[in-house]
Amino acid sequence: MEELFKAWSAWVAVGVEAAAAGIIALAALEATWRTVRIFFGRPALPDAEKEGVRLRLARWLAVALEFTLAADILRTAIAPSWDEIGKLAAIAALRTLLNFFLQREIADEAERRRQGNVLAERSSTK
């Protein structure tokens, strides 16, 4: 029974990793498409548009990181060795750190946009 559960967990982990790869691929295609539109479309605020593309890609990469972490956890869920636990801890720490910085950058940009909107509202009411 334990072997069946190990095999099932391994297949689920592969599926979760495939989902992460799909998310990354689709996000990269979307970012590429939006970048090409910015390049050829010449928007009024190109820097803001570029930042939007970058942050949207960062959000999707953060989602993909969560999926890959889930796959790693699945792989070590059944009778892990100390070596596997150590590897999982290192991988989890790196992915969590990367995710933390991505989320912080996203939050910082959201705050900058919010402050910009507040300033724009103040200047339009005067």
* DSSP 8-state secondary structure symbol assigned to residue 76: T
Which pLDDT score, from 0 to 100, does residue 28 have?
97
Residue 112's identity, in one-letter code, is R
Q: Tens digit of pLDDT per residue, the chain (126 long)?
A: 778 888 888 899 999 999 999 999 999 999 999 999 998 887 777 788 888 898 899 889 989 988 998 998 888 877 678 888 888 888 888 888 888 888 888 888 888 878 877 666 666 665
Judge contact between 56 and 32, C-beta under 8 A.
no
Residue 63's identity, in one-letter code, is V
Rounded to two decimals, what is the model's pTM? 0.74
Judged on CB neighbours under 10 Å (0-12, 13-18, 19+), 64 is buried
Which pLDDT score, from 0 to 100, does residue 119 have?
65
Which pLDDT score, from 0 to 100, does residue 126 have?
59
Which pLDDT score, from 0 to 100, does residue 79 have?
64
Q: Which residues contact 38 (CB under 8 A, 6 or more apart)?
A: 46, 49, 50, 53
